[in-house]
Amino acid sequence: MTRATLIGFSAILMWSLLALMTAASGKMPPFQMSAVCFAIGALPGLLLFAVKPERMKLLRQPAPVWILGIVGLFGYHFLYFTALRNAPAADASMIAYLWPLFIVLGSAMLPGEKLKAAHILGALAGLAGAGLIVSARSTEGASAFSEGQLMIGYGAALACAFFWSGYSLISRKFGSAPTDVVTGFCLATSLLSLVCHLTLETTVWPDTATEWLAIAGLGLLPVGAAFYTWDYGVKKGNIQILGVASYSAPVLSTLVLIVAGFTEPSWRILIACLLVTGGALIAVSGSLLGKKQPA
């Protein structure tokens, strides 16, 4: 179980690079970005199928499994790429990373669980952190975007949080589905994104080698390998530990952006980071405290 938990934690580390790589990827529109990245993300699974073709039979899963996987991956990343195209990277990333908090709140309302005061307090703290970001539009970085762009970016980022938390909570019903099916999710998401791109967008390719590397990195890591390792970790590892560890994602993501020079360090970001992460930890304490431990 420890090995599987560590494998699952690697997904969190990869997701902390998502905002940086997206910000460095140039001006590729969201559907095109999704099509390219998920095509790259499917490569590890396709390689495994080429080596062990008998595993392709594992792709035969019930329709609800496919619908959840495709809608979850396609919807979240379209919204995320839209958010980072229309708002400062650190701001959009912090709002999108409300998803761990929403998972805690959602799981507290599942059968056998109760919504406690700690859950409500944690939710208020997290929302205060997101509100601090949205209300401080005059800060450096936000001035590069119009008022309309900021509203689209912040709205898409908040939708991201609801989308991924909903996907994660519903996926608990399909714990028996093998990780191999993630390859199918990636391919289907790539094809769906391509259709949407050709219908709705103008093709824009990267201008520099750095932008190409960022897109390749997105497809190989946070939009690729992370889904395989997260799927394996939550099914075979300690999901409670992984849930708590996921609250480090917004902190890591913001620190990476600051170190890479995409965002300036500020008290606003620090306080928002503490509110979102602290709110999530308060909320998870409501789920862990008072639970009976197995004998």
Question: Considering only 60-64, 67-71, 142-146, 267-271, which range has the smallest mean pLDDT?
Answer: 142-146
Q: Among the listed ranges 93-97, 134-138, 152-156, 227-231, which one has the minimum average pLDDT value?
A: 134-138
Q: Take residue 14 and report the two structure tokens written for it.
A: 């990869």
**207 φ, ψ to 5°?**
-95, -25
pLDDT 10s digits, 245-281 = 777 777 788 788 888 888 778 787 788 778 877 877 7
Higher pLDDT, 142 or 152: 152
The torsion region of residue 261 among left (phi > 0), alpha (psi -120 to 50) and beta comes to left
Task: Tell me the backbone φ, ψ of residue 84, rounded to 5 degrees.
Answer: -75, -10
Angle at 230 between CA 92 and CA 252, to 5 degrees: 40
CB 129 within 8 A of CB 273: yes
Q: pTM surpassing 0.85?
A: no
- pLDDT band at residue 287, thresholds of 50, 70 and 90? low
Q: Is the pLDDT of residue 207 over 90?
A: yes
Question: Which one has a higher pLDDT value, 151 or 97?
Answer: 151
